[in-house]
A and B are shown apart, each in its own frame.
Chain A
Amino acid sequence: MINKLLIIIGIIGMLLILLPILVNFQSPTNLSALAEEYVRGSVNDLKSPNVVTSVVVTYRGLDTLGEVTVLFLATLGVGFLLENKKNKSTQRTVSENIRTTSSFLVSLIMVLGIYIFTHGHLSPGGGFQGGVVIASGFLLLILSDLDFKISHAILRFVESISGLVYVLIGLIGLVLTIGFLNPAILPLGKYGDLFSAGAIPLIYSLIGLKVGSELTNIIATMGSDRSSESVVKEER
């Protein structure tokens, strides 16, 4: 009884915190001064058509570095808790159809993922989305082929190298005294080209590789931990 009362008090408290946002809400008709500056700067200073990418990679680049670190810590936690136990207890077989279709689809999914993160400055997408698409390709591979084993050493290598190069690119900006993570360390090129917007495609590709390898690591660690699954099988 007292529990339910506390829950209701908690919900009402949250509602009271949120209510001012709702009551004072007016549909904005213009961009804020900061957003206007970002939209103009993306065209004039960075030559990157996708303003969201400009904000994520350049204007708030330090935040993105921090968020990639959070992702890394979460992956570390998953790997630390679920140690890779060599458990050969899979009597399950995968049907021929699924195996054939997935081996055909995986290559297409990988190409789509790479396309999404290399074109992050031109079209909707970028490193985070492309990385997730690549991880979903690996998930399909793990689900369809039970003997499939990803080398954790390679994943860790790709992940740490891309993280290191990401920070080094930022530091080059400091050495050239144009600012940390400034993409102008490379020539800006022509507006709308694939090789334009300075270092933005390079940084976003590195983020894509890092996110992709980290999420693949999470999936592979969870997939290889079949000890609880075998318990369920014995109960049946």
Chain B
Amino acid sequence: MIETLILGFILLLIGLYAMLSQKNIIKIILGFSIADTGVHIIIVSLGYLKGRRAPILDSAVDIANSVKEVVDPIPSALVLTAIVIGLATTALMLVFAAELHKRKASFSIDDYKELKW
């Protein structure tokens, strides 16, 4: 579906802009989460077929003709795991941020010059 594809691109670019322009570490992590969601929407909309059902072949779907009735299962499977991995990596990033805050009591990346190159 072209609409959701465009929505995914917009979210991805908003997230990227937030990651590049913000100074606050928490806001950078939020930007990552937004970009992550955008990528999920892009992948799912690439596998969407108009007017078809979810790929669960129970009594509601004609099983003999299932190939013509369901959407592509592969993008759904990829996104399913990507969401959980995204949650875990976001948690790890937040812990890094908390650890940095303990050192200098600041979330601004300007205060961490030793990370600059």
Contact = CB atoms under 8 A, between A and B. Distances in A.
How many chain A residues sit at the interface, stated as a range, is 35 or more
Nearest to B101: A228
Contacts of A28: 47, 49, 72
B2 A35 contact: no
A39 B95 contact: no
Interface in A5-43: 6-7, 10-11, 14-15, 18, 21-22, 25, 27-32, 34-36, 38-40, 42-43
B81 A56 contact: yes
Interface in A36-69: 36, 38-40, 42-43, 49-52, 54-56, 60, 63-64, 67
Interface stretch (A71-79, A92-100, A103-111, A179-187): A71-79
B40 to A, nearest CB: 13
Secondary structure call for the B interface: helix
Given A14-B13, A35-B72, A39-B67, A52 B77 contact: yes
A2 B67 CA distance: 53
A222 interface: yes
Contacts of B102: 227-228
The main secondary structure of chain A at its interface with chain B is: helix
A227 B89 CA distance: 23
B8 to A, nearest CB: 9
A216 B105 CA distance: 27
B16 A14 contact: yes
Given A25-B2, A52-B55, A218-B88, A67 B74 contact: no
A70 B82 CA distance: 11
B17 A228 contact: no
Contacts of B46: 25
Given A39-B66, A132-B84, A7 B6 contact: no
Contact of A51 (B70, B94, B96): B70
Given A35-B73, A52-B77, A218-B88, A192 B58 contact: yes
A126 interface: yes
B5 interface: yes
Contacts of A124: 54, 56
Contact of A126 (B17, B80, B85): B80
Given A49-B58, A51-B57, 15 more contacts: A14-B13, A14-B16, A18-B12, A22-B5, A27-B2, A31-B70, A39-B57, A42-B57, A51-B55, A71-B88, A74-B85, A81-B96, A82-B95, A218-B88, A228-B101
> What 9 A-B pairs are tightest by C-beta distance, nearest first?
A74-B88, A51-B55, A55-B77, A51-B73, A7-B20, A67-B81, A128-B84, A74-B92, A56-B77
17 contacts: A7-B17, A7-B20, A7-B21, A10-B16, A27-B2, A27-B49, A31-B49, A31-B67, A31-B70, A39-B55, A39-B66, A70-B89, A77-B92, A77-B95, A123-B56, A128-B81, A132-B87
